[in-house]
Structure 1
Amino acid sequence: MWEDMTYENILNDMLNRVPNNVDKRPGSIIYDALAPCAYKLAETYFKLNNFIDLFFVDTAVGEYLNRKAADYGITRKPATKAIRKIVTTGPVDIGTRWGLEDTTYVIIEKISDTEYKAECEQYGEIGNIYTGELNNIDNVNGITATLTDILISGEDEETDDNFRRRIYAYLQKPATSGNANHYKQWALEVPGVGGAKVFSLWNGPGTVKVLIVDSDMNIDETLEQSVYEYIESVRPIGATVTVDSPIEKVINVSANIKLNRSKTLNEVVTNFTNLFIEYLKSTVFKTYNAYNEGTSITISYAKIGSILLATEGVDDHSNLLINEGTSNITIGNDEIPIAGTINLTEVV
């Protein structure tokens, strides 16, 4: 809006308003008096441009996106703590604390004499990362413990992008009286859920199936129970609800590539793999964040070829195969694409 209100333009406008019989050259008294003021005014206009962006859903960030969403009764999903299984060599008390790397865990429930549920004391996905022998924080004598399974995944606070998409879904697809949009909205309100797809009447009258993926658009079966319990607590009476995870559709890629020598083969494989995974995730987002029941998507052969050609270090490619073929791959209604084997062979 105020793109023209730069330091130079403001200063020139100020100097043009000074009579011509006054010395206005750089270093003159009037020039040096006006320059700091012009700088501060330009800084103010720059901030005003940014402030305007904070008032709209498409550009607001952080606290301002929270405040904008609050107008519609929507709140950002908070970070959650991971619940892990700890296996010990003997009984320990509830409340005992253990540590591993930069995380700590507190025993919250007994499963058996040597198995316990423990809650990570740090919020977020960091609680899902480590596995192995734990350090004894509370000086429990003669007993060792090992951190094993993830019972409930810890989740980071909802990102601005995911939160923004959820706000748009709420505004563009009204949820009323337990319709499909409502079930999708309820699923997305659960911390850790990044996308959901609803199948009405999937197993006859009065049945609803909800497929979910996590905030990274991956399968996380530990979310299923949480989503089910939440939907059961808010849905209208009458429907039989099933919450499940989609089926993995593995996508393998092989090709011959000619390098331009700016990157090694290993670096090219790593870079392409990352780009390929991001492409697959973008298709999951489209499938599981749009209300398009009964439709399927395809993984584009041409798109993967263009990604490979655009990968830094690649000069050209040939004999590109996707799942041993050269056709697009159809992803079923209850599937998500997962990166499989990436086999890139260097040719001269």
Structure 2
Amino acid sequence: MSPNELIKVYESRDYHYYLKSMLDKVPDNIDKREGSVIYDAVAPAAMNMALQSMSLANVIKETYIKTAEDVFLDYRAVERGTQRYPATAARVTAKFLDKHGKPINNVEVGDRFASLGDQPIFYKVISISSNFTGLLEAEELGTRPNAYLGQILPVTPNDSLYWAEVIEVSFPARDVETDEHLRQRLLSSDNWIAYGGNIADYLEMLSKISTVGAAQVYPVWAGGGTVKLVILDNDLMPASQQLLQEVKNTIDPPDAQGLGYGLAPIDHTVTVVAPQEVIVDVYIILQLENGEELSTLEPKIIYAIQDYFDLERKRWGKINQITGRGYSLTVYRSQILKEVMNVEGVVDADIPILNGINNDITMIENNNLSQLPILGKTTLIDRHQLAAGIKVENIKNRLVKVAGT
């Protein structure tokens, strides 16, 4: 019997189970109806036994990594020499201008700003660059600040300041690691050993840098002792220049490459880059249920397609499951079609056209180039609203022809 089966057994033994079990052992010539002496005598015991059964089910559940939750899973992580990734604070780049639109130079480290809105995000300046832009850190943890770009207001008084604005989320934050993500890490950790600058070792190094969301590792990409790291931020988008520099300084400082002053082993020269974005435009012809309007369903359909691209980016840093080495990622039209067909109100759809091509799009993942798919323009056509006399095939053929020229 597996732990899960044993948990179900204990969970099934509720109050009624134990009450019936005990009353079945009482001779039939004795009154055991509700309210009788014997019924009232065994009912409290049945309740207590049911509670004990639930407690036993919880003990079994929290004993194993596959079923443990919350703090109990944290304890199992500690036994494996790791811990749950904590939430981090976003760091953003902001510009500060006077009334003439010129940068001001009197914003100081420690000054505070706040975003607009009913629930403002508060920031603190942590550094000022040579061009008088500032690096600000959100005072709250988690991913909410990742979505904010725009005007910020000074909390610390500054008479010279006329305009302040967040222009880039340079280091997106992450939320506290979920149980499922932590569980996956713990259960997969036996599949590889991090040692001496192997791929697993570099992935472990990067996992300790809270601003890195995912990575690909290319060993000996430009000869012996060279390693290339291709990284994403916590939003699973190409890393900013600031993030690339932070990772480079941590792994293999540029002023002492290969000397072992970072996390990389001695004689390893590490290059840190971001992947190339591949914008994928999606064109698809749909058939909707009677009474449905494309303008109503369009946001849901685009959201479903975006979900697929988000999932692909989560797979981007995974080693090829077939070969056990290298990376491989393809944007499949059939998978996009599947997501679209799952939207309520869509009854039929043609195979999507991607970037004007009737083919899936395979990302390049090699020593020279690593690509990341990003959803671009989504064009949705209602089959019933096509102009009279224009066939669907003609539209698709024309689209492919235009895209290829």
TM range (shorter): 0.7 to 0.9
Cα 1:95–1:55 change in 2 (3 A) is same
Give, in whole Å, the separation in 2 of the partners of 1:265 and 1:41: 58
* Structure 2: stretches of 5+ with no match in the other structure: 1-5, 99-103, 253-261, 385-405
Assess, with a 3 A threshold, how the Cα gap between structure 1 residues 113 and 280 changes in structure 2: closer, same or farther: closer
Q: In the alignment, what sits opposite 2:267? A: 238
> Please, which of 201, 207, 215 is the counterpart of residue 188 of structure 1?
207
The alpha-carbon distance between structure 1 residues 142 and 335, as it changes in their structure 2 partners (threshold 3 A), is closer
Identity %: 29
1:106 equivalent in alignment to 2:124: yes
**What letter matches 2:175 in structure 1?**
D
Relative distance call for 1:84 and 1:282 in structure 2 (3 A) is closer
Equivalence for 1:284:
313
The residue aligned with 2:376 is: 340
Structure 2 distance, partners of 1:68, 1:110, is 42
In the alignment, what sits opposite 1:96?
A: 111
Higher relative contact order (CA 8 A, sep 6+): 1
Question: Whole-Å Cα distance in 2 between the matches of residues 262 and 228 of structure 1?
Answer: 56
Q: Structure 1 pair 166/218, CA: closer, same or farther in 2 (3 Å)? A: farther
SS in 2 for 1:124: coil
Whether contact under 8 Å (1:192, 1:215) holds in the other structure is yes
Shift of 1:267: 4.3
Asked if the contact 2:172/2:234 (under 8 Å) is kept, the reply is no
Deviation at 1:158, TM superposition (A): 2.7
- Aligned twin of 2:397: none
Query: Structure 1: which amino acid aligns with 2:249?
Result: E
Mapped contact 1:153–1:223 kept (Cα < 8 A): no
Higher mean C-alpha displacement, 43-52 vs 77-86: 43-52
Instruction: Give the aligned partner of residue 163 of structure 1.
Output: 182
- Checking the alignment, whether the CA contact within 8 Å between 1:88 and 1:115 is kept in structure 2 is no
Q: Tell me the secondary structure at the aligned position of residue 158 of structure 1.
A: coil
For the residue of structure 2 that corresponds to 1:54, the secondary structure is helix
Q: Kindly state the Cα deviation for residue 73 of structure 1 after the two structures are TM-superposed.
A: 1.2
Name 1:203's counterpart in structure 2: 222
Long gaps (5+) in structure 1: none
SS at match of 1:123: coil
Distance change in 2, residues 1:308/1:147 (3 Å) = same
Q: What's the offset of the Cα at 1:295?
A: 4.2
Offset at residue 207 of structure 1 (A): 0.6
1:224 to 244, 248, 251: 244
Q: 1:123, CA displacement in angstroms?
A: 1.9
1:202 offset after TM fit, Å? Answer: 0.9
Deviation of residue 223 (structure 1)?
3.2
Q: Distance in 1 between matches of 2:332 and 2:131?
A: 53
Q: Deviations over 1:240-288 (max 9, x none)?
A: 1112222222222222212125854244332233332332333333341
Q: Tell me the amino acid that sits aligned with residue 194 of structure 1.
A: G
CA contact (8 A) 1:187 1:212 kept: no
* Aligned-CA RMSD value: 2.7
- Please state whether the residue corresponding to 1:53 is helix, strand or coil: helix
Local SS of the residue matching 2:350? strand
**1:25-82 deviation per Cα after TM superposition (whole angstroms, max 9, x unaligned):** 3344433454454345334433433443333333333322222111121122222222
AA partner of residue 79 (structure 1): A
Cα separation, 2, equivalents of 1:21 and 1:171: 61
Aligned to 2:359, the other structure's residue is in SS state: coil
Opposite residue 299 of structure 1, the aligned amino acid is V
TM-score normalised by structure 2 residue count:
0.76
Q: Contact (CA 8 Å) 2:218, 2:228: kept in 1 or not? A: yes
Using a 3 Å threshold, how does the CA distance of structure 1 residues 344 and 207 change in structure 2: closer, same or farther?
Answer: same
For 1:181 and 1:309, the matched residues in 2 are separated by 39
CA radius of gyration, larger in: 2
SS for the counterpart of 1:133 is strand
2:257 alignment counterpart: none
Q: Is the 8 A contact 1:206 1:238 kept in 2?
A: yes
- Indicate how the Cα distance of structure 1 residues 45 and 262 shifts in structure 2: closer, same or farther if over 3 A, else same: farther
Once the two structures are TM-superposed, the CA of residue 88 in structure 1 deviates from its matched residue by: 4.0
The residue type equivalent to 1:122 in the other structure is: E
Calculate the TM-score normalised by the size of structure 1: 0.87
Q: Report how many residues are paired.
A: 348
